[in-house]
């Protein structure tokens, strides 16, 4: 418009515009306001089926559950015998409804892959849900007074060690509850991702068995934690 004098009485020349672009660079508002979002890469999912021999041998699952507290923040945590698939969920309280909601989510994850939870091992804090579990076809085995389920206590110790390991590498002196929850989820994620020494398969991790998904280096390993 300046070159062909389409704006009468304008004393700005073409050279003035070129110099302004060299000095001030392109208009920031136009760049942010007019540019469209770039297309992201398509999600690539590697779906793995559960081998038939594993379902035949380990299809009936024995699940251990407990309440884990980190900095007085409660988590519903579980792990399964033989498969060694762990879960952790931040919960508001230890009420009966809260416990059943968490257990329902775990049960659905196993059932979706063809596994069936038959027995649940827990301590006395889960006695209130015995009838609800019986209605779902699962039996509840409560540990003796002042005793705990060995598998569950060992798994909680492993998770807390991993959480402490991650927390020691972060540049913070205080940790918000949401950050602690994310650290717990990360610890459980990587425990499920790596093969367990007593697992049911030599190449398929517990996470792949229960979710059907495998990790990808570009998605899960390209960035250091805390960055």
Domains contained in the chain, CATH given: 52-221 (3.30.420.10)
Candidates 81, 28, 76, 34; CA nearest to 200 is 81
Confidence band, pLDDT 50/70/90 cuts, at residue 222: confident
What is the rounded CA–CA span in Å between residue 115 and residue 174? Answer: 41
Per-residue pLDDT reduced to its tens digit, 137-166: 999 999 888 788 889 999 999 999 999 999
Q: Please determine, for residue 225, whether its predicted confidence score (pLDDT) is greater than 70.
A: no
Question: Of how many residues is the chain composed?
Answer: 227
Per-residue pLDDT reduced to its tens digit, 88-110: 999 999 999 999 999 999 999 99
Structure tokens at 144: 């003796």
Q: What is the pLDDT of residue 227?
A: 53
Mean pLDDT of 192-221: 89
Of 111-120, 144-153, 181-190, 195-204, the one with minimum mean pLDDT is 144-153
């Amino acid at each position: 418009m300046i070159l062909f004098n389409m704006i009468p009485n304008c004393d700005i020349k073409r050279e003035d515009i070129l110099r302004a672009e060299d000095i001030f660079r392109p208009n920031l508002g136009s760049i942010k306001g007019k540019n469209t979002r770039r297309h992201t890469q398509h999600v690539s999912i590697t779906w793995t089926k559960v081998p038939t021999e594993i379902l035949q041998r380990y299809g009936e699952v024995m699940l251990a559950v407990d309440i884990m507290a980190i900095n007085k923040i409660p988590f519903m945590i579980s792990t399964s015998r033989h498969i060694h698939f762990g879960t952790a969920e931040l919960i508001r309280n230890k009420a009966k409804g809260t416990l059943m909601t968490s257990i329902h989510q775990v049960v659905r994850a196993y059932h979706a892959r063809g596994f069936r939870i038959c027995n649940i091992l827990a301590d006395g804090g889960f006695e209130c849900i015995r009838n609800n579990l019986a209605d779902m076809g699962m039996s509840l085995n409560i540990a003796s007074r002042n005793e705990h389920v060995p598998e569950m206590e060992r798994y909680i110790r492993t998770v807390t060690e991993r959480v402490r390991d991650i927390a020691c590498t972060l540049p913070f002196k205080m940790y918000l509850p949401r950050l602690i929850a994310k650290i717990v989820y990360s610890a459980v994620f990587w425990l499920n991702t790596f093969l367990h020494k007593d697992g049911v398969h030599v190449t398929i991790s517990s996470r792949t068995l229960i979710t059907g998904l495998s990790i990808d280096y570009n998605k899960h390993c390209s960035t250091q934690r805390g960055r």
